[in-house]
Amino acid sequence: MPSKPFSCSNLLSPPTELLPWLTVDGSLTAVLEIKAGQPLRVERTFEGYRSMSLIQKRQLGVQGAMLGRPMLAWVREVELYGNDEQPWVKAQSIFPIPSLTGRARRLQQLKGTPIGYVLFKRSRTLPNQRFIQQTSEGWQRQTRYDWYGRKLMISEIFLPAFTSSET
C-alpha cells in the first residue's frame, strides 16, 4: 500500500523551507542525521503506559464501540538533537497495546535509539497517512504508520532551533 498524500489541517501553509522536512518519505531520522552530519542524540522525556484519547483512537483508525472503551498505549516522548545544544524536534510515538505483539514488542525497549532505526530497517518507506498542522510549539507532522500490519502514530514537531540551524 503506497503512502497517502498528506493533508494540512490549518488554513496556513508551512514555510517553503520546512515543507520538504514535513513531507519526507521514509525515515526522518536518516535525513536529520544527514543535515546534522552526525547521529541524532535522543533524550527521552516520557516513556510508559497511557490511556489513549478519543482523537488518538480516531487517528489510529479505531472504530465503532471500541472508540468509547478505554484503550492503553505505550507512549514514548523524546527530544531529538542534531548538531546543536537545543533540540531540533520534539516527538511522540504511540503504540496501542494490541499492536505490541511479536517483533513489535521491541518498540517498548528503544531507550535512546531513534525509532527510525527500527521502523525503516527493512524498508525505506512504510504505508502511512500524514497530517500537518501548526501548533504553539512549531509545525507538526503526525503520521499513522502501518508497520507489519500494526498501526502506530508518530508525531514530530519541528522546533525553532531546527529552522534556525545553518547546516
State residue 34's pLDDT score.
Answer: 94
Cα–Cα dist 154/141, whole Å = 8
H or E stretch including 73? strand 72-81
Q: What is the pLDDT of residues 19-48, one digit of tens each?
A: 999 998 888 999 999 999 999 999 999 999
Q: Which three cell numbers stand for residue 93?
A: 510515538
39 vs 19, 49, 72, 121, 122, CA distance in Å?
22, 28, 32, 16, 19
pTM of the model: 0.85
pLDDT at 5: 46
Question: CB–CB of 115/93 below 8 Å?
Answer: yes
Task: Write out pLDDT tens, residues 63-77.
Answer: 899 899 999 999 999
Per-residue pLDDT at 10: 53
- pLDDT-flagged residues of the chain (< 50): 1-6, 167
The one-letter amino acid code at 82 reads G
How much is the pLDDT for 83?
A: 93
DSSP summary character for residue 62? -
